[in-house]
Amino acid sequence: MSDSLLSADRNAHIKIVAVALIAATVFVTVGIYARVTDAGLVTARVYPDRPVLKAGQPVIYTETDRSKLR
């Protein structure tokens, strides 16, 4: 068994690639199936009888000697 990846033989590299592919497949599979199943909590609701909230004027949060940051 080799202690370094630089001097490792072909079988060691193949094992590393195989383990990485399996781990990536498991990660993606868990990510796909780990979602919220209740669609009522995720979607936005539209209420046509309520007023629309509009953005106001920009506000300066901080100011330095050189420039203003918004």
Task: Tell me if the pTM is above 0.75.
Answer: no
Q: Is residue 50 part of a domain?
A: yes
Is residue 57 included in any domain, yes or no?
yes
* pLDDT the model gives residue 33: 84
**Radius of gyration (Cα) for the chain, nearest Å?**
27
The string of pLDDT tens digits covering residues 39-49 is: 556 566 777 78
Residue 34 falls inside a structural domain:
yes
Determine the Cα–Cα distance for residues 19 and 27; give it in Å rounded to an integer. Answer: 12
Confidence band for 1, pLDDT divided at 50, 70 and 90: low
Whether 5 is in a domain gets the answer no
Residue 32 structural domain: 10-69
Widest Cα–Cα separation across the chain: 72
Does residue 60 sit within a domain? yes
* Number of domains composing the chain: 1
Tens-place pLDDT, residues 45-69: 777 788 777 778 877 766 666 665 5
pLDDT digits (tens, 9 = 90+) for 2-33: 667 777 888 888 999 999 999 999 999 998 88
Q: Does the residue 4 lie in any domain?
A: no
Q: Transcribe 4-47 into DSSP letters.
A: -STT--HHHHHHHHHHHHHHHHHHHHHHHH-S---HHHHS----
